[in-house]
Amino acid sequence: MTADPLAGVRLGKYQIIEPLGIGGMSTVYRAYQENLSREVALKVLPPQLRADPSFLERFHIEAMALARLKHPNIIVIYDADSVDMWVFIVMELINGPNLRRYLRNPISMLNALRIFHHIAQGVAYAHSKGIIHRDIKPSNVLMDVSDNPQNPRPVLTDFGVVKLMESPTKLTQTGAGVGTPEYMAPEQCQGDAVDQRADIYALGILLFEMLCGKPPFSEGNFTSIAHSHIFDPVPDPALLNPSISQDLRAIVQKALQKDPALRFQQAAEFDAAVMSLIQSSGKSKPISRPLSHPLYTACSVCAAHNSNTAKYCWKCGTAMPASVYQSNQIRQGQIICEACAAPESSSFNFCTRCGEPLRWISCPHCRAPRSLAQRYCMQCGNL
C-alpha cells in the first residue's frame, strides 16, 4: 500500500490529522487549525493541476465565489490556498456520514422527500447566485448529526470542484464532460455546455435512487452508462417501488427528461412540486412508514425462516403447519430478504433487518410479489 504523502504534514497553518475520504478528484482530510483552535476539513486537489498555468487563477476566482455562499444546506468554505505542490480548500468539518452511507439503512419515503427538499433548497440558492454544482450525488451530501441525530441536516459539498477540474475546452481526454456518470445529464455526457438544468437532472437521479434503492442507470462502464442517459428511457420508478404515487412518479419523470427544455427549469420549481406532496401527506397519513417485523418460524424440512403468515416455505416449497399461519392474515406485498430471509414489505427499498437492497418480482400464477430469492410463492406455493 502506498503511504499517504500528506500523513502528518503541515500545510500552512493546518496540521493534517487523518484522511476522511478519497474521491476521484480529491482527498479530504481532518486537520487542525492552530490559530483558531478548531478542527476543519481540508479538500486537497491533485498536485498535477498546478501544471495548468490558468488553474490557480481559476481556483481562487471560484473559491471566492463559493465562500460567498451562505446556506444551511451548503458546506461553509473557510479558506483556499496552495502550499508547495498542494492546492486545497478549507471547509467546516461535518459530523456524520455521507448520504450514500446513510441510505444503507432504510428510510421512509416521507423522510426521503424531506431530505431531497433540503438538498434542493441548497441547489436553488446556489443557482440564484450563478453557481452550478455539476456533480450532485449521494457521496457529495453529508448528513450532519451534531444537533439532531434522528433528523440530520443534509449538507451539499463540492460546489465548483468539477468546474475547476475541467480543461478550457470543457472536455476530458475521452471527450465526455467531467462528472460522475450515474448522475450526469445527457448533455453533460456528450460534453456540451451545461446550465442549471443539468443539476436538476442530477437531483432527479438522486431522488430516484432514494426512492428505488439505486440510480436508473448504473451498470457497465462510463460509455454504456452515458449511452443510457442519452438514448435509453428511464425506468418507471413505480415499477421498482409500487408505493410511489402517480404524482411523485410524474415529478421524477419530468426531472429526468432527455431534453433540458422539458425538465423543471428551476430547482425551486422542482422543490415546490415535491413540497406539495410532503404537505398533502401531512394532512392525512405518511406516504410510507417502516413496519415492524412479523413473527417468523423455521421450516420443518429446510429450516429456512418463514413469516408466520406463509402457507408455503419460500425456499423449498414445503407446506407450513396450519397452526403457524392464519390464512386471513396473509399480507399483500410481502417478500423475503435475499440476504437474511427476513419477511419485508415489497414497498421497501432495503431490508429493515440487515439493510440489504430488496428486489422483487411477481408470482406468475397468483401475481403476489416475491423476492428473487424465493423459489416458491408463499401465497400459492407454486414455483
Does residue 18 surpass a pLDDT of 80? Answer: yes
Cell of residue 197, nine digits: 438544468
Does residue 82 surpass a pLDDT of 90? Answer: no
CATH of the domain at 79: 3.30.200.20
In angstroms and rounded to an integer, the radius of gyration of the C-alpha atoms of the chain is: 24
**Band of pLDDT at residue 31, cut at 50, 70 and 90:** very high
Boundary residue ending a domain (72, 91, 110): 91
Does residue 284 surpass a pLDDT of 60? Answer: no
- Over residues 194-234, the pLDDT tens digits come to 999 999 999 999 999 999 999 999 888 889 999 999 999 99
80 and 150 housed in the same domain = no
Boundary residue ending a domain (246, 261, 283): 283
Give the pLDDT score at 208.
Answer: 96
Residue type present at position 209: E
Does residue 331 surpass a pLDDT of 60? Answer: no
CA distances from 282 to 211, 212, 238, 332, 336 (A): 18, 22, 21, 25, 30
Give the pLDDT score at 56.
Answer: 77
CA atoms of 80 and 42, how far apart (whole Å): 9
103 and 170 housed in the same domain = yes
108 and 68 housed in the same domain = no
**Band of pLDDT at residue 333, cut at 50, 70 and 90:** low
**Band of pLDDT at residue 360, cut at 50, 70 and 90:** low
**Band of pLDDT at residue 327, cut at 50, 70 and 90:** very low
Note down the domain range covering 334: 292-383
299 and 344 housed in the same domain = yes
Q: Are 20 and 28 in contact (CB under 8 A)?
A: yes
State mean pLDDT over 168-191.
Answer: 69
Give me the chain's average pLDDT, please: 80
Kindly report the pTM of this predicted structure.
0.70
State mean pLDDT over 340-366.
Answer: 65
Structural domains of the chain, count: 3
Give the pLDDT score at 268.
Answer: 96
Does residue 236 surpass a pLDDT of 70? Answer: yes
Cell of residue 200, nine digits: 436538476
Match 443539468 to its residue by C-alpha cell: 198
Give the pLDDT score at 152.
Answer: 93
Q: 81, 84, 135, 259: which is the annotated catalytic residue?
A: 135
Give the pLDDT score at 347.
Answer: 59
165 and 227 housed in the same domain = yes
HSE, CB side, 13 Å, CA atoms: give it for residue 153.
14
Q: Is 247 a catalytic residue?
A: no
- Over residues 37-49, the pLDDT tens digits come to 999 999 888 888 7
Give the pLDDT score at 150.
Answer: 84
Residue 316 three-state SS? coil
For residue 5, is it within any domain? Answer: no
Pairing status of strand 360-362 against strand 369-371: antiparallel
Which residue intervals of the chain are DSSP H helices?
Answer: 55-67, 99-102, 109-128, 161-165, 186-189, 196-212, 222-231, 237-240, 246-255, 267-283
Does residue 62 surpass a pLDDT of 70? Answer: yes
Give the pLDDT score at 348.
Answer: 62
Give the pLDDT score at 341.
Answer: 64
For residue 109, is it within any domain? Answer: yes
193 and 338 housed in the same domain = no
CATH of the domain at 137: 1.10.510.10
- Over residues 251-269, the pLDDT tens digits come to 999 999 999 999 999 999 9
**Band of pLDDT at residue 169, cut at 50, 70 and 90:** very low
DSSP state of 312: B
Give the pLDDT score at 349.
Answer: 63
State mean pLDDT over 138-157.
Answer: 92
234 and 125 housed in the same domain = yes
Boundary residue ending a domain (91, 107, 133): 91
> Residues near 178 by Cβ (< 8 Å), separated by ≥ 6?
134, 135, 162, 165, 166, 172
